Amino acid sequence: MKITGVKTYVLQGMIEDQSFGWSQRVTRTRQSVLCEVSTDEKITGVGEAFYFGGPAKIAANIISDVYGPLLMDKDPLDTSVIWDSLYNWTRDQGMKGVTISALSAIDIALWDIKGKAQGLPIFKLLGGAYRHKARAYATGLYEPQNVPNVIEALVNEAVGYKEEGFSGMKLKVGYGIDKDVSYVKAIRQAIGEEICLMVDANHAYNSSEAIQLAQKLERFDVYWFEEPVPPEDLEGYCEVRKKSNILIAGGECEYTRYGFRNLINLRAVDILQPDLCAAGGFTEIMKIVAMASAANIPLIPHVWGTNVGLAASLQLFANLPHFPERRFPAEPFFEYDRSAHPFREEVTLEKFVMKNGYLDIPERPGLGINLNLKFVEKHAL
Ligand code: CA
């Protein structure tokens, strides 16, 4: 089989009155970068590049202008060989960030082709399913804009997730320690003790502030504290982790086995959170999973984006081993973004529905999805 074409789609939609904020900024738009790789055997694969913050078209340009020409006539089943050659092509100036997100999208599309060519879901190609459904936690509880009472709005949203059947949810913090504590306190009171509550500062603090916050949040039984400090501050992560009784999570801003090597070797986090659509796609994340398992550090993937990224992450999630294996293993949580998004579900023909707190993991070939080309082509920039 040979690769005959690479196409990208940059999608953008406004969320207007549902705009939301977190510790870094407020957003009114959502963007996504999808890529489609076609072959001479009429099998096409689809992938998504993690996007947040910069113009999405940068990732699309890297896919189409830099990697696209290098992929022509290559056998799409040679995923490792292709990954290494593309990475090496941009290595000098592209070891992290948007370059690796672009590479991730291509790698995911190649695995989709590989699965479709063999008639198997990707998790089978990775070695099988440790689970066939994913226990979802709700990512939401951003700072709502233009509401009379933020705490009241957050509490209503949290109670809504509980009523929908979520057994866990994640709240944004990083607005200042007192404000953070007041949000956590109100939500914990409203949802009761049974539901897992996580907090995410999106690297808003230095290590001493993060330690202060972690200690104040202990009495509210917070399950993990995500991105307490900036991703470059690995020593800060270690300081926070030593002085926090709440688990420390991070990794959505880290890339490839080389980046995760540092997080793992320093034991900077209790939970690693690589994003499949950012850290390097299936080929690379399996290496990160192997390193994490050798260090016995649990890995709970970061998930963000459209149904394409979601479908890919579900395939990975099926194949995530337990760290460590035991008779009654802890069940990992799957990140299920519930924040406002104008086209998250529209880009695929297949829909994902949570039932009793779980998402089914598709058993169809490849990623188990088909792009809704009519919608995607109509809304692409
Ligand atoms: Ca996060």
Count of structural domains, the chain: 2
Peptide bond before residue 324 is cis, with ω within 30 degrees of 0: yes
Beta-carbon contacts of 150 under 8 Å, excluding residues fewer than 6 positions away, are 143, 144, 183
**Is this structure's pTM higher than 0.85?**
yes
Q: Are residues 34 and 151 in the same domain?
A: no
Q: Are residues 13 and 113 in the same domain?
A: yes
Beta-carbon contacts of 15 under 8 Å, excluding residues fewer than 6 positions away, are 27, 28, 29, 30, 340, 341, 342
pLDDT of residue 54: 67
Q: Which position has the token pair 């939401």?
A: 140
Tokens of 112: 């989709």
- The backbone torsions φ and ψ at residue 75, rounded to the nearest 5 degrees and listed phi first, read -80, 120
Specify whether 322 is catalytic: no
How close is the Cα of 203 to the center of ligand 1, in Å? Answer: 9
Q: Are residues 97 and 201 in the same domain?
A: no
Q: Which position has the token pair 């307490």?
A: 228
Between β-strands 247-250 and 358-360, what pairing exists: parallel, antiparallel or unpaired?
unpaired
The CATH number of whichever domain residue 55 belongs to comes to: 3.30.390.10
Q: How buried is 374 (Cβ within 10 angstroms: 0-12 exposed, 13-18 middle, 19+ buried)?
A: exposed
How close is the Cα of 300 to the center of ligand 1, in Å? Answer: 12
Tell me, yes or no, whether 291 lies in a domain: yes
- The backbone torsions φ and ψ at residue 58, rounded to the nearest 5 degrees and listed phi first, read -65, -45
How close is the Cα of 170 to the center of ligand 1, in Å? Answer: 9
pLDDT of residue 67: 98
Q: Which domain holds residue 30?
A: 3-120+372-379
Q: How confident is the prediction along the chain (381 residues), in pLDDT tens digits per residue?
A: 999 999 999 999 999 889 999 999 999 999 999 999 999 999 999 999 998 766 789 999 999 999 999 999 999 999 999 999 999 999 999 999 999 999 999 999 999 999 999 999 999 999 999 999 999 999 999 999 999 999 999 999 999 999 999 999 999 999 999 999 999 999 999 999 999 999 999 999 999 999 999 999 999 999 999 999 999 999 999 999 999 999 999 999 999 999 999 999 999 999 999 999 999 999 999 999 999 999 999 999 999 999 999 999 999 999 999 988 899 998 899 999 999 999 999 999 999 999 999 999 999 999 999 999 999 999 898
pLDDT of residue 39: 98
| Edge-to-edge order in the sheet of strand 20-21 | 26-27, 20-21, 143-144
How close is the Cα of 247 to the center of ligand 1, in Å? Answer: 14
The CATH number of whichever domain residue 266 belongs to comes to: 3.20.20.120
Tell me, yes or no, whether 192 lies in a domain: yes
SS3 category, 196: strand
Beta-carbon contacts of 247 under 8 Å, excluding residues fewer than 6 positions away, are 223, 224, 225, 270, 271
Of 132, 203, 302, 322, which is the active-site residue?
302
Tell me, yes or no, whether 37 lies in a domain: yes
Q: How far apart are CA 228 and CA 214, in angstroms?
A: 9
